């Protein structure tokens, strides 16, 4: 399964030309799976896993996470975030517009790292992001 998830060939220029919302869609899925997997060390209770992961993957928390990890990102990674943040998207239901746009930027960053197959950096960013969400893991 992992091989089939990574068995694609999209050039960096193709990634840059696609809508940042596509990258955000991929980044959102990756972040959900990453958070749920990491939370298994906290609990094996499905309800608690759901509640904790829902908090951490929320737009509000993702916006906070980005602020905490931004200084450790490269210029190119901050550009990915900005493209996602500035993409035209629908109004949020459970967060402010600014939080929603910031979370879209965060997800775009993760999605672009995944699509570029930069898995070691993706792991570093996700680890820093998960650590930055420590207040939400209880």
Neighbouring C-beta atoms of residue 123, cutoff 10 Å: 12
Q: Which of 3, 28, 79, 131 is catalytic?
A: 28
C-beta of residue 87 within 8 angstroms of C-beta of residue 104: yes
Residue spans of alpha helices (H) in the chain: 2-6, 12-17, 20-39, 46-56, 59-69, 75-86, 97-115, 119-132
Look up 3 and say whether it is catalytic: no
DSSP string, 49-85: HHHHHHHHTSHHHHHHHHHHHGGGS-HHHHHHHHHHH
Contact by Cβ (8 Å): 89, 104: yes
* Active site (catalytic) residues: 28
């Amino acid at each position: 399964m992992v091989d089939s998830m990574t068995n694609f060939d999209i050039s960096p220029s193709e990634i840059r030309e696609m809508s940042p919302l596509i990258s955000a869609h991929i980044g959102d899925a990756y972040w959900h799976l990453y958070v749920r997997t990491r939370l298994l060390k906290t609990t094996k209770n499905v309800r608690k896993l759901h509640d904790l992961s829902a908090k951490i993957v929320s737009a509000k928390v993702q916006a906070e996470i980005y602020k905490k990890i931004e200084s450790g990102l490269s210029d190119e990674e901050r550009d990915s975030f900005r493209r996602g943040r500035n993409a035209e998207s629908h109004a949020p239901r459970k967060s402010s517009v600014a939080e929603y746009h910031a979370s879209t930027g965060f997800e775009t960053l993760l999605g672009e790292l995944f699509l570029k197959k930069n898995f070691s950096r993706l792991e570093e960013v996700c680890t820093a992001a998960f650590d930055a969400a420590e207040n939400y893991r209880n």
